[in-house]
Structure 1
Amino acid sequence: MTTTSAEPRTAVKIRPLAVVGLVLVAINLRPAVTSLGPVLAEVRASLGMSAAVAGLLTSVPAVCFAVVGSTAPLLARRWGTGGVIALGTTALALGLAVRPFAGGTGSFLALTALALAGIALANVLLPVVVKQRFPDRVGAMTGLYSVALNLGASTAAAVTVPLTAGVFGGDWRLGLGVWAVIAAAALPAWILLARDRTPSRTAPSRIAPVAEGGAVLQLRREPIAWALAVYFGLQSTAAYVIMGWLPQIFRDAGLSARTAGLLFAVTALLGVPLSFALSALAGRLPRQSGVAVLIGLFGVAGYVGLWADPAAAPWLWVVLLGVANCSFPLVLTMIALRGRDAATVSRLSAFAQSTGYLLSVPGPIVVGVLYDHTGSWRIPLALLALLMVPQMVAGVLAGRDRQIG
């Protein structure tokens, strides 16, 4: 069919660029964290960082995502989703470029926070971009950028140590700083998308306030919104403990830094095929509750295996945890499905992610403190296994066939 207006023609041209932009920015949503875990021991030694402070470092993502993520809908109403994601990508690239050369723990934490603030904006708004530009392909497009996210996470985890040891002569600062180049590569697409104001005929590029019966929708009164927030928070707790501490768990069990990095990479690499398949499947299901329970059971098995003996069957434990990590693309898909339009999804995404990340803040800190005081990973791992139970309950509630808006 031949397009007869400028708006449809623009939408046809912009949609492929939106796909490229989604993939490129999603690749950069985890390397700021996953590149750090494999060299955390070297960073701690260089900066004089205790295990408790390192636990705080692993909680910085949750703090940034909670505080900054909550501002994303407001910023998007002013500058559009593309403009805000472009701003976030700039902050991410700058933070990653400067962070490795920080002179102390305080400045290292601050620059990490800058990079993660940029990620927080994209985290909240990518489900909105999917709803705006691909309203007929929510599950598939969520799966696509989840695949890209896991590729970025696994690549950073797997190659940071070899890059540091081989290419950069053992300099961990260069091994971390190289990821700023990858972040900068995502910026041009979002600068172009920020200039577009006609993403589709079904949704505006600026997020309008959501009204129902003339009043602004109060998500705090919606049980589904709270279920999504709790589920998001508990899966984030597990994810950031694993991203921050799993390589150290394996290193403490006698494995080499390179092997520990590769094992950690598997947890993210499994998400490449699983995220796409899971999101596409979940997008077609009226209820996602059973999927949430199944994923949770894999997590329990993985943590119990690590608790028993990390070195006994490390590849099995990381496979189990890799499947458990699919709770992230699942909750993103549920967020997009629970809102009836892009504006509702924007508010729901901001609420679920900011509240969820706030709930997850204590987890990595508690794990660091427990490890510092006991000198063992058994109590922290037992705690993580127990937390999978309320996560599954929240997943059952969030996965019900309900919509808001």
Structure 2
Amino acid sequence: MTDAPSGRRSELLLGVVAIVLIAATMRLPVAALSPLAGRIDADIPLSALALGALGTAPPIAFALAGVLAPRLARRLQLEPTLLLAMLAMIAGHLVRAAAVDFAMLLAGTLVLLLGAGFGNVLLPAAVKKVTPNRIGTMTAVYAMIMSIGAAVPPLVAVPLAELADWRLSLAIWAAFVAIALVPWVALAAREVRAHRRRRAAVAADGMPGAEPTRPRRAALLRSPTLWGIGIPFTISSISAYAGFALLPPMLREIAGVGEAEAGALLALLGFLGLPLAAIGPVLAARLRTPTPLLVASTALFATAYAGLLLGPEAATLLWMIALGLGYITFPMCLALFALRTRTPAMASTVSGAVQTVGYAIAALAPLLLGALRDSTGSWSPAIAVLLVLSFANLIAVPLLGRRGLVDDELGR
């Protein structure tokens, strides 16, 4: 009898380590390539169109993962699906490191990002399964690790390339994913054995097994809670991807900052993600409703965009800090995927549905806002659009104030 608690502790530890390690790899695909663009261009010509394609690849791949990941997880179970995602990430790192032309570079990047997107969608379900009573804390931990994973590659990409070449700098991340793979092999093997035992028990009873069913997309749209999560997730994603793509040239034009200063201000947004990742999920779990977080995010985004619109040179640093802090709704939504569902399967379904739509819209935002700038000759209309969109967060206040669960709203 004394072995049971010890066994449960070891399973818990294995699950926590596995979540932390995969989280450390999920932002490497986004952050490792761009610092090497100049070096890659010497071997593989990268036009502005090619760089634009690489820049829009992450939200497109993440949106596609939102469609595919929950379906594959229902068929193969959660842990084996995440294991396959990590194998795809390893293959993607190696393919783009070995690329001989842009098509191969783009293909490797898409495979790599698709694997990372599976992690985006399924990690909330893994958190709910491994630590159902510590969802806020565990989500905060893995969100912080993801932020660190996004910050490290830009710092070491060029020094690694100087040791050999850009191919080594890209390929080395496959080794990190391989290390993170180890606990998932054990978890996947255990889950496969458990699934077989469940099926054997059902067969022995002579009763047909109840296969998990997924709610139809139309049924999901009837859930106020899903809309309440989806709206701030989409607003945050639009602001983030528009910022990554457009902020440096925007700041150089409207605020008169230099190229290096614009890059530093953009990096500031990434560093602000660390404290937000630490407190956002915890507050989402402890607050009765996320209304304070939604109101705060709206006020911060509105302050940032109004400042950039009316006085970009007056307090540029302040506007960037407000913008960075406004992203607190992103880690909040990561926690709500698990907090506002009853089962890991429903958590992955809601996560997939929200991320599909959110990232698909975010992929279009930089293109549309850039086109608006080119057609008007000014950044003011684009900034005004972002200012208006920031108030959409308030639509989610009554939707999430109901404290509803998606499962209950769908009658499941």
Name the TM tier (shorter chain).
0.7 to 0.9
State the distance in 1 between where 2:299 and 2:8 align: 42
Q: Which moved more, 1:26-35 or 1:343-352?
A: 26-35
CA deviation string 1:295-315 (max 9, x = no partner): 122123233444567676554
CA deviation string 1:66-109 (max 9, x = no partner): 22222212212232222211211222232233325534444333
Q: 2:45 aligns with which of 47, 53, 61?
A: 47
- Gap regions ≥5 residues in structure 1: none
TM-score (norm 2): 0.81
CA 1:274–1:68 in 2, change beyond 3 Å: closer, same or farther? closer
Q: Is the 8 A contact 1:15 1:133 kept in 2?
A: yes
CA deviation string 1:161-188 (max 9, x = no partner): xx41686279655555544443333222
2:21 corresponds to which residue? 24
Q: Is the 8 A contact 2:160 2:168 kept in 1?
A: no
Identity of aligned residues (%): 33
SS in 1 for 2:406: coil
Q: Which has the higher contact order (CA 8 A, sep 6+)?
A: 1
State the distance in 2 between where 1:199 and 1:227 align: 38
State the distance in 1 between where 2:36 and 2:383 align: 21
Give 1:121's aligned amino acid.
Answer: F
1:220 corresponds to which residue? 221
2:212 corresponds to which residue? 209
2:410 corresponds to which residue? none
1:81 corresponds to which residue? 78
1:183 corresponds to which residue? 177
Q: Is the 8 A contact 2:65 2:121 kept in 1?
A: no
SS in 1 for 2:141: helix
CA RMSD in angstroms, aligned pairs only: 3.5
Give 1:120's aligned amino acid.
Answer: G
Question: For residues 95-244 of structure 1, what are the structure 2 equivalents within 5 Å?
Answer: 95-157=92-154, 159-160=155-156, 163-164=157-158, 168=162, 175-197=169-191, 209=212, 218-244=219-245
Structure with more of its chain in helix, by fraction: 2
Q: Is the 8 A contact 1:249 1:310 kept in 2?
A: no
State the distance in 2 between where 1:119 and 1:380 align: 30
Q: Does 1:15 align with 2:19?
A: no
CA 1:49–1:305 in 2, change beyond 3 Å: closer, same or farther? farther
Q: Does 1:90 align with 2:84?
A: no
Give 2:65's aligned amino acid.
Answer: V
CA 1:389–1:41 in 2, change beyond 3 Å: closer, same or farther? farther
Give 1:49's aligned amino acid.
Answer: S
Give 1:194's aligned amino acid.
Answer: A
CA deviation string 1:252-288 (max 9, x = no partner): 655344x544433321222222222221121011210
Q: Is the 8 A contact 1:292 1:396 kept in 2?
A: no
Q: Is the 8 A contact 2:95 2:104 kept in 1?
A: no
Which structure's CA Rg is the greater one?
Answer: 2
Q: 1:266 aligns with which of 261, 268, 271?
A: 268
TM-score (norm 1): 0.82
Give 2:236's aligned amino acid.
Answer: Q
Cα distance, 1:111 vs. partner? Answer: 2.1
Q: Is the 8 A contact 2:293 2:328 kept in 1?
A: no
Q: Which moved more, 1:185-194 or 1:298-307?
A: 298-307
2:63 corresponds to which residue? 66
State the distance in 2 between where 1:380 and 1:173 align: 37
